[in-house]
Structure 1
Amino acid sequence: MYKRILIPTDGSDLSDSSVQAGIEFAKQLNADVVGVFVAANFQYPIYVDLIPPNTPTEPEYQNAMRVLGETYLHTIQDAASRNGVEFQSVVQFNDSPAKEIVHTAHVFGCDLIFMGSHGRSGLGQFLLGSVTTKVLSNCQIPVLVHRVKHETTKTAKAA
């Protein structure tokens, strides 16, 4: 059915939960996985009078983001390795994570994107935006949205 699945990560708990589910899904299908972390492009502070001396250069920023992205992608790599799933990863730079996720899926020949969603709706989604919603809007391949089940607290159970 699906042979190569793209799993984006931002390092959040939601993303880690979706990664685990995505790897298990890929294992069931005997599919390969491509992990992607999208960092924002470097922005030089051009509208300030005095640039702080500790402001990173573009290469320093990109190196720091690559290290951070590789740290997050290591979670996917570990899960893939434990489950015997072929894995490759990439750190990309783009101010639109959704567009870069779709582009990366195309470049790597993925036939499915597996990603998490906070499940916000209405005003919350409007105000915060949603990378998942934007991917769904811009993508020509299937997108499987993993919704994390929120555990009910003990106090909520007792009430």
Structure 2
Amino acid sequence: MCRKILITTDGSAVSRMTACAGVSFAQQMGAEALVLFVAPEYQYPIYVEIIPPSYPSEEEYRAAMERAGSEHVQPILDACAKKAVRAEGMTAFAESAALKIIDVAARHGCDLIFIGSHGRSGWGQLLLGSVTNKVLSHTRIPVLVHRLVKEPLPD
């Protein structure tokens, strides 16, 4: 039985639909949820002697990504609240989203990683997203891959 489920989001419509399925699954299992958004690390401009004034500082970038992460995580936390699923949300920074997902799941004692795969037909069914594929191949924590039957409408 699962006690704590890591639900990932990247803010996309596909991710939101997957996260909603993850919330329902957590409710059915009587588990709590940890909702995670992984932001890319700050990238310093290369081959530039002087950083352009419009280029954000590392602090500005991190603050903007924290805000974006909160915006992506909050609707999922709201869905958890509506279904009486205890949940917390977080934004993490990493070069590799897959490895960060695995690390966060392990550090927070998650029993399961709930992650999405794009719903495709034909040859596309054979392909998982690169993040999902890396999570599957690098973790010992059980992973539930949720595949959408149809693509969501564009935002």
Is the TM-score greater than 0.5? Answer: yes
Letter paired with 1:72? H
Q: For the aligned residues, what is the CA RMSD? A: 2.4
After TM superposition, the structure 1 stretch with the greater mean CA deviation from structure 2, 43-52 or 87-96, is: 43-52
Task: Structure 2: state its 5+ residue gaps.
Answer: none
Rg comparison, structure with higher value? 1
Task: State how far apart, in whole Å, the 2-side matches of 1:110 and 1:22 are.
Answer: 13
Aligned counterparts, 1:6-85, within 5 A: 6-85=6-85
The answer to whether the aligner puts 1:100 opposite 2:100 as a matched pair is yes
Take 2:128 and 2:80, find their aligned partners in 1: how far apart are those partners?
31
Q: Deviations over 1:50-79 (max 9, x none)?
A: 532111100110000000001000021011
2:61 maps to amino acid: Y
How far apart are the structure 2 equivalents of 1:46 and 1:123? 38
Which residue of structure 1 aligns with residue 109 of structure 2? 109
Amino acid at match of 2:66: R
Distance 1:53 1:123 in 2: 46
Question: In the alignment, which residue of structure 2 is the partner of 1:140?
Answer: 140
Q: Name the aligned partner's letter for residue 38 of structure 2.
A: V
Q: Distance in 2 between matches of 1:128 and 1:114?
A: 14
Identity of aligned residues (%): 51
Alignment of 1:118-137 (within 5 A): 118-119=118-119, 130-137=130-137
* Letter aligned with residue 140 of structure 1: R
Per the TM alignment, residue 46 of structure 1 is displaced from its structure 2 partner at its CA by 2.7
| Inter-partner Cα distance in structure 1 for 2:87 and 2:123 | 37
What SS does the aligned partner of 2:18 have?
helix
Distance 1:135 1:121 in 2: 22
Query: Any idea what SS the aligned residue of 2:43 has?
Result: coil
Q: How many residues align?
A: 151
Shift of 1:49: 4.4
* Structure 2: distance between partners of 1:17 and 1:122: 22
Contact 2:118 2:128 (C-alpha < 8 Å) held by counterparts: no
In the alignment, the residues of structure 2 paired with residue 6 and residue 129 of structure 1 have an alpha-carbon distance, to the nearest angstrom, of 17
Q: Which runs of 5+ in 1 are unaligned?
A: 152-159
Q: TM-score, normalised by structure 1?
A: 0.87
CA distance in 2, matches of 1:109, 1:53: 43
